[in-house]
Amino acid sequence: MQKFPLATERHRYAQEWKARTGCKIMGYFCTYVPEEIVYAAGILPVRVLGSHEPQDLAEPHIFSMFCPFCRDCLAEGLRGNYDYLDGISHAQSCLHIRQSFESWQMHIPRAYSHYLFMPANLQSPSAQTCLEEELLEFKNTLEKWIGTPITAKALNESVEVYNLNRRLLRQLYELRKGDPPAISGAETMRITLASQFMDKKEHNQILQQLLQELAHSPRKIAPGPRVMVLGSENDDTELVELTESLGANVVIDDHCTGSRYFWNEVIPPSPSMGEGKGEGEHTDKILQAIASRYINRPPCPQKDLRDRRRFTHILKLAEEYKIQAAMLIQQKFCDPHELDIPPLQELFTRKGIPNIFLEVDVTTPVGQFRTRIEAFLETMQLELA
């Protein structure tokens, strides 16, 4: 079976894809960017991620008190590793990653850049209308850039491709409900990360083959404590690998690089809604459906206003995946998650779920946490015995 490229191979994959197709590539800085619209324009959206290597390139451009992840992303651009990008886009989320995006605009200019205002209060009745207007503007700027219209047909096809990918990833996550799970957390994480830089059609084909393979031959995984990992952006597979090497099974996550990225689908307008309507009206309906998907996806803390609705979603995941422990991760200086961690710890403790908090720096090795994670797992197993 063809293998998923690793996150460390994302630049090579993108360059080869571009040479093979002759199409444009756009980097996006936040998963609230509506990739369906980009893909419908014939452009490959790839998520901008860092290299996890110590760096000082970003220091003149971004505050050192900003999170390591946003500085690492900017450093990758300053090194020239993303020179194959034709455009960049960002949907408003935290101020730290926005600073990375704005620094790219100033110091690593591309032929196209677009800042999409994503409402912070998604619980507001006006959020839907606001985002629909933003998506229409985004579509218009893309059309002006590529010189051709993005048709309702192209949008529908793009939504179908993306919905299939989300459905397949949900099926993959379902396999982790078993005890032991049919696939490890580290392998699942690598597959989910690959979906954020691969052509979704290619990713879907490989993922379908893998699911068929797993249906007949699950991975040989030893039983172990069932752990949930959640918190700040986490594309560091080494942390999950470390945790699983100590005998635990990471069975579910709540990250923007993990389950939050794909958890809900776009509910497309029914075919009858397009009957008798012009191209413009049909396009508007699809954009409404896309806006609804991004508003109703499991939110990050930055978008979980005014009520904390994501806690209900997290507890549901904890119950469905029968977790026995939670690992809460915060990228250093990540303000939104820093405010979220204490009530989450209290929530898990109240539910009798042992939990551990780790403040991480994506540019430093995770080996420093080995002793703490090992001690936590041993203590947890003694309490459960």
In a domain, 290, yes or no: no
In a domain, 295, yes or no: no
Each residue's pLDDT tens digit, 22-77: 999 999 999 999 999 999 999 999 999 999 887 788 888 998 889 999 999 999 99
State the pLDDT at residue 352: 94
State the pLDDT at residue 134: 98
Residues 96, 11 within the same domain: yes
Query: Which of 124, 150, 174 is the endpoint of a domain?
Result: 124
CATH code of the domain covering residue 171: 3.40.50.11900
In a domain, 136, yes or no: no
In a domain, 151, yes or no: no
Residues 178, 114 within the same domain: no
Residues 311, 183 within the same domain: yes
Residues 101, 168 within the same domain: no
Instruction: State how many domains the chain has.
Output: 2
CB atoms within 10 A of CB 342: 11
Q: Which residues are within 8 A (CB) of 300 and not within 5 positions of it... i.e. 6 or more apart?
A: 93, 256, 260, 310, 336
pTM: 0.95
8 A C-beta contact, residue 255 and residue 192: no
> Residue 42 is encoded by which pair of tokens?
């014939």
Residues 338, 195 within the same domain: yes
CATH code of the domain covering residue 44: 3.40.50.11890
State the pLDDT at residue 4: 94
Residues 217, 343 within the same domain: yes
Residues of the chain with pLDDT under 70: 1, 271-277, 385
State the pLDDT at residue 363: 85
In a domain, 194, yes or no: yes
In a domain, 232, yes or no: yes
Residues 243, 344 within the same domain: yes
State the pLDDT at residue 264: 97
Query: Which of 124, 143, 177 is the endpoint of a domain?
Result: 124
Residues 114, 176 within the same domain: no
State the pLDDT at residue 383: 74
In a domain, 280, yes or no: no
Residues 118, 165 within the same domain: no
Structural domain of 35: 7-124
In a domain, 270, yes or no: no
Query: Which of 76, 103, 124 is the endpoint of a domain?
Result: 124
State the pLDDT at residue 273: 53
Residues 83, 223 within the same domain: no
Q: Any bridge partners for residue 254, and if so which?
A: 230
State the pLDDT at residue 56: 83
> Residue 63 is encoded by which pair of tokens?
């505050």
